Amino acid sequence: MNNNKEINMINLKKVGLTALAGSLAAVTAHAGEMSVTGAANITYVTKSGGNAAQSLGNDKDVKFSGSGELDNGYTFSTHTTLTDAMAVSSTAIVVTMGSLGSIGLGTGGGTNVNGAYDEAIPTAYEENSDAGGQAPANYVGSYSDDNALVYQMPAMEFMGATVTGGLEYSFQSGSSTANDGGTVARSDTWGNSYGVGLTVAYDALSIGAYVSERENKNHNTVADVSDAMTASWNVKYSAGPVSIGYSEFVVESGLADAGTSASPATTAVKTVGTHSGMFDGDMMSIAFNVNDNLSISWSDMSATYDPQNHSTAGVDEVGVDEEHTSLQLAYSMGSMSIKAYTTEITNPNFDEDADTVTKNEIALGLAF
């Protein structure tokens, strides 16, 4: 009888160990994966007009990525990108819930919605704003680049078209995401912000729109302020190797007049987010893939600054236009690429008295 009890106990232990091994095997099957990638770039830049200069530069980035699957079929991913100085340039954690879409938290544009709508025209190399100037189009949606909670809807089919979009919300606009259990610094200037984007694609044609707003907390000290707002829409079409794009944008600074009532500063440097008034404009481009390795593009971006101070007797401010015209080229050879652009900026920083600036850049890129 005792022998039978011992045999039964041994069998129970075997069953228990087998179940434990099976559960460990199941956990191992769902364990996440990690990878490390990076890039190195060497650039040669010349600049004429204004502060003429030429220089050699280099930068390196290292990206740590992880992904995995939960028991319910949901997936998760995370990444952190470090610069030369070992500073975090972007980071994100995203949980994808199948047909329910995805939820993410990130900083540095790691998981935002607005990235699909800021300067949303096809180019071979860089956005037009890379050459400098004010380029307010690049400010569209930037309120939620940091410290943002993001929801991305799943792609949906509607009457033959594919609909995608998302919503982003920042609890403290312009502040980096806090560490685990931490808080960001309080701001008495800007509060929370939100952004909403939607894109409808039908075959080679897509149309997208985006709007964002940021709370201005200066109402108690400055009477004539409002919440800041940015918006844009774009249309893109591809036919074989040719892609074309057009977009319009507006940036409302939400601040009081930057000049004095007697002398508005219409030709001084206007910094988006710190000066009053409205910035609006449009951009267009055409890109051509010569072959699998070589692509070229032409693009033009024009914006107008309006100080919106029309209350001064006898003073009528005239909007100042800033224009970027860019020709770009990119050639890839496996993990190495050569890219270049030449961009001309008229009235840089909306200063009609400033010299026209031409910036040329050649970059050698290595990916690993």
pLDDT tens-digit map of 271-323: 666 666 788 999 999 999 999 999 999 999 999 887 766 544 433 345 678 99
Chain-centre distance of CA 200, in angstroms?
A: 19
What's residue 183's pLDDT? 59
The identity of residue 68, as a single letter, is: G
Residues in CB range of 194: below 8 A, 6 or more apart: 144, 167, 168, 169, 170, 212, 213
Q: How confident is the model at residue 208 (pLDDT cuts 50, 70, 90)?
A: very high
Ranges of each domain in the chain: 35-367
Bridge partners, 74 (sequence order): none
What's residue 273's pLDDT? 60
Q: Where are the beta strands (DSSP E) in 118-179?
A: 148-152, 156-158, 161-170
The 10s digit of each residue's pLDDT in 225-263 is 678 889 999 999 999 999 999 999 999 887 655 444 444
Distance CA 151, CA 367 (A): 30
CATH superfamily of 35-367: Porin (2.40.160.10)
Distance CA 80, CA 89 (A): 8
**Region of residue 139 (left: phi > 0; alpha: psi -120 to 50; beta: else):** alpha
Residue 139, token pair as written in the block? 């400010």
* For the chain, percent of residues with pLDDT exceeding 90: 43
- Of 195-209, 219-233, 303-317, 332-346, the least confident: 303-317
What's residue 309's pLDDT? 60
CB 350 within 8 A of CB 322: yes
CB 272 within 8 A of CB 251: yes
- CA count, 13 A, side-chain hemisphere, 349: 14
